[in-house]
Amino acid sequence: MPNTEIALLPAPPFSASASASAPFSDPFSTPAPFSTPAPFSAPAPFSAPAPAPAPASAPAPTPSSSSSAPTANKRSSTRGANRRTRPHTRSLSGCYTCRLRRKKCDERHPFCRNCTGLSVTCEYERPGWWSNVNQRKIHKEIVKEKIKQTKLDEKSRILAGQNHRHNFALPSPALNADFNRLIATENRDPFVSQPPAPGLPPQFANYAPYEVDVRTEHQLFVNDVPARHDTSFSTFNTFAPAQLQATLPPFPNSEWFPQPSEAGPSSSTSYPISTYVPPEPHPTLLMQMSIPVEDADRPLLGHFVDNVLRQIFPILEVHQKGFERAQAILRSLETNKSYLHCCLSVAATHLKTSVGMVGEDVDHNIMKHRFEAVTHLCQSLKEDKEHEQILEATLAMILFHCFVGAVDEYLPDVAWNDHFLAAINLVKRLDLPSTFIQTTAPFVQPPFNMTLTSWIDILGATMLGRSPQFAHAYRSNHLNATPAGFRELMGCDDRVMYLISEIACLDALKSEGVIDDLAVCSHVSALGSQLEYTEPLDHDLEHPYSPFSGIRPDQLTKNITAIYRFAARIYLCSLVPGFDRNQSSNLNLVEAVTNALQFIPSGPDGYDRSLVWPLLIAGANSTPHCSFRQVLYNRTVEMGEEAEFGSFARMLRVLEEVWRLSDGPVIPSSNVNEPLPSPTYPVEQQGNLFPPTSIVSPGGVPGGRGTVHWRDVMIQNGWRYLLI
């Protein structure tokens, strides 16, 4: 790893225009409880008319309590008025989050009611960001985004509950109607001791006496295919409810009840992309609080857990059906200092690229934690220990920056391929390739760090025009049908990724002039046949989202694998001497990618960011009049701000430059309403390695309207991107 010296100045105060004393209006926050008004004072009694003169023998009436009533009522009215006009005094011992939000705190420990209900961090000890006005602004924005996300999650759960109740309200047969009416009208026998069944809702815990025949059906699905169907009948004839708690096993908190609305997905129904609802985030507040970090950096840690963590490995989260990977990342944050500072630097970068926070303070946080991460790495390498943690942090520096990095990064940093050289040495020292090859069991996954390394190695080799470092291991795995974990990690089948590695080797051999054109054509034909063997028996694609069961992981990976397979064919055909993007075979492959994109959920919570490499290959070989560019533009618009950073935004920048050089002054066709927007970032010509006309392939026309290789465009502009 190259020795990088980064000089750091003391952290200047955040330069923000807003003042912490300004009132913080939060539309999603819980309003403060209203103060109870003082009771209204009773009005003074009406004066009665003067009585007739009493006889002389009658005693004079003595003043009673009625004479003091006006005075007491007047004092009560005065106290009520003072109580109503008395200004509200805020608590000085409440949590600092409620103080920041200008809300009244109930001072419950360890977490107050407001912070618990809104799922925000509750801090009673004076945090480091409280004394800095600019850091208050950052923390205020983080709390506001967290409250907004919590409210949206509550709204989603309410809508899901309404749909669930609607499913229960559907009409049922007459027998079920009588049974339900019996439960609704009759009360439970008070003389029968019936404790509620554990794990069941209260409305189903106690049943009135009934007599009914119940049919129970069990259906087993294997890979969404019905494999077994059993039906059994039971007759209940009793005057006491069944002892459910004696027949049901205990249900731990980790288990769940399948709701009646969560039926298997229907393969004959297509669902629009706009109905996709992302899964609810899992609570990580307690694990976050256990991570040792300075008070000034805790807002960055909270932003990483709340906003960045959900964008890392989205395909892996779909397959695991939980937050196991998030738990692993949080555990690494507790024990791996270099990994922690890498994540804090990534969080600051995400604040800059997505939220739009600019200034020296954000850059200082990025560089400070970036320098700390490299320093801890070098220290661990010097001590020659903790190689697993060093490899984990090094891979995080490569991949996490791909997810949130800016398009026009101007801060000094180590290039991804330089980081990867150090990762390769660590992988060899840990002897992970041999473990990778020996993983022959069908349900045993290889080491996760080796899967990450292979992902970077294969697709990164296409960026550099070189052979993958572990190409021999991938070739052995392909011959022995050894899993690599690509399908669960990034959505593409292992066999297709192995063949992309072989295509990258062929590309490197051709570029180096090791083989002639005849040998290239022979290898292209052989690899094309191998790609055909990876195609499934059922070529039809379906939308992976179902309103009943959510995202179907198998269908999602099938769709992603199909797109990768088409892109691999385009990449393979582009190696044929005399290749032209206007050939019918290439146009058909690009159109196949376009058609397959309709089965991938789009939008800010979709999976377009998991298709950066195939979109790059298909887009670089597309023509001005094909529908691919319009579809890509529409999906980019649907992504919104999520398309403005990370590898997806960099891929758009490369394609825009490739199209500018390849198409020349081309008039758009009538079916393309708007062209792909050009990024506003300036293009810096670094070195001018070769003139634009010399990067046109033999099948193109110099001066534009030809075929320009995307890798040459990246080299010419000095873009050292890892587009995965």
Q: What is the pTM of this model?
A: 0.60
Cα separation, 190 vs 244, whole angstroms: 18
Q: At which residue do the structure tokens 């923390």 appear? A: 139
Whole-number percent of the chain with pLDDT over 70:
61
Q: At which residue do the structure tokens 């990025």 appear? A: 366
**pLDDT digit string, tens, across residues 2-25:** 444 434 334 444 343 333 334 334
CATH of the domain at 113: 4.10.240
Lookup: tokens for 522: 């022979």
Q: Return the pLDDT at 611.
A: 97
Position 453 confidence tier, pLDDT thresholds 50, 70, 90: very high
Position 168 confidence tier, pLDDT thresholds 50, 70, 90: very low
36 domain residue, yes or no: no
Q: Return the pLDDT at 140.
A: 83
The Cα-based distances of 54 to 3, 48, 57, 59, 66 in angstroms read 114, 16, 8, 9, 20
**pLDDT digit string, tens, across residues 41-94:** 444 443 444 444 444 444 444 444 444 444 444 444 444 444 444 444 555 678
List Cβ<8 Å contacts ≥24 apart for 527-531: 527/499, 527/502, 527/503, 527/572, 528/569, 528/572, 530/499, 530/502, 531/496, 531/499, 531/565, 531/568, 531/569, 531/572
Position 475 confidence tier, pLDDT thresholds 50, 70, 90: very high
Q: Return the pLDDT at 439.
A: 61
Cα separation, 470 vs 457, whole angstroms: 8
Whether residue 129 contacts residue 10, with contact meaning beta carbons closer than 8 Å, is answered with no
Whether residue 570 contacts residue 621, with contact meaning beta carbons closer than 8 Å, is answered with yes
549 domain residue, yes or no: no
**Structural domain boundaries, residue 100:** 93-152
DSSP state at residue 611: G
Cα separation, 151 vs 145, whole angstroms: 10
Least reliable range by pLDDT among 209-213, 272-276, 465-469, 515-519: 272-276
Rounded to the nearest 5 degrees, what angle is found at the Cα of 116, between the Cα atoms of 114 and 120?
90
Question: How many C-beta neighbours within 10 Å does residue 611 have?
Answer: 26
Position 376 confidence tier, pLDDT thresholds 50, 70, 90: very high
Least reliable range by pLDDT among 248-262, 341-355, 577-591: 248-262
Computed over every residue of the chain, the mean pLDDT equals 73
Dihedral Cα 705, 709, 711, 713, nearest 10 deg: -20
Lookup: tokens for 271: 């669902």
Decide if pLDDT at 174 tops 60. no
Position 668 confidence tier, pLDDT thresholds 50, 70, 90: very low
Number of domains observed in the structure of the chain: 2
556 domain residue, yes or no: no
Q: Return the pLDDT at 90.
A: 52
Boundary (domain end) residue, out of 426, 446, 477: 426
60 domain residue, yes or no: no
Average of pLDDT values for 116-145?
81
One-letter identity of residue 28: F
108 domain residue, yes or no: yes
> Whose CA is closest to 429, among 456, 457, 450?
450
Q: Return the pLDDT at 191.
A: 37
Average of pLDDT values for 696-718?
69
**pLDDT digit string, tens, across residues 222-242:** 555 555 555 555 554 444 444
Q: Is 219 helix (H, G, I), strand (E, B) or coil?
A: strand
> Whose CA is closest to 569, among 524, 609, 611?
524
Q: Return the pLDDT at 200.
A: 41
Boundary (domain end) residue, out of 397, 426, 455: 426
| 495 vs 293: which has the higher pLDDT | 495
Boundary (domain end) residue, out of 137, 152, 167: 152
Q: What does 373-387 look like in DSSP terms, one character per residue? A: HHHHHHHHHHHT--H
In DSSP terms, which residues pair with 550 in a beta bridge? 546
Q: Return the pLDDT at 152.
A: 76
Decide if pLDDT at 675 tops 80. no
546 domain residue, yes or no: no
The Cα-based distances of 319 to 276, 305, 336, 489, 546 in angstroms read 17, 20, 26, 9, 15
CA 421 to the chain's CA centroid: 29
| Side-chain half-sphere CA neighbours of 57 within 13 A | 0
Residues 6+ apart with CB under 8 A from 239: 189, 209
H helix and E strand count, the chain: 26, 4
Whether residue 722 contacts residue 647, with contact meaning beta carbons closer than 8 Å, is answered with yes
Cα separation, 331 vs 335, whole angstroms: 7
Lookup: tokens for 149: 């996300």
Q: Return the pLDDT at 229.
A: 54
Give the best-scoring range by mean pLDDT among 186-195, 241-250, 273-282, 311-320: 311-320
Q: Return the pLDDT at 337.
A: 92
3-state SS string for 444-501: CCCCHHHHHHHHHHHHHHHHHCCCCCCHHHHHHHHHHCCCCCHHHHHCCCHHHHHHHH
Q: Return the pLDDT at 280.
A: 47
723 domain residue, yes or no: no
> Whose CA is closest to 360, among 9, 682, 5, 19?
9
Decide if pLDDT at 628 tops 60. yes
Lookup: tokens for 654: 């490369």
**pLDDT digit string, tens, across residues 540-595:** 999 998 888 788 999 999 999 999 999 999 999 999 999 999 999 999 999 999 99
400 domain residue, yes or no: yes
Pick left, alpha or beta for residue 491 (phi over 0 → left; psi -120 to 50 → alpha; otherwise beta): left
Is cis: bond before 110, omega within 30 of 0?
A: yes
Dihedral pair phi/psi, residue 6, rounded to 5°: -120, 115
Decide if pLDDT at 638 tops 50. yes
Q: Return the pLDDT at 357.
A: 76
Q: What does 542-599 look like in DSSP terms, one character per residue? A: --SEETTTEE-HHHHHHHHHHHHHHHHHHHHHTTSTT--TTSHHHHHHHHHHHHHGGG
Average of pLDDT values for 187-210?
42
Position 220 confidence tier, pLDDT thresholds 50, 70, 90: low
Whole-number percent of the chain with pLDDT over 90:
38
Q: Which helix (H) or strand (E) holds 167?
A: helix 133-168
Q: Return the pLDDT at 284.
A: 56
Question: How many C-beta neighbours within 10 Å does residue 649 have?
Answer: 22
Q: Return the pLDDT at 706.
A: 61
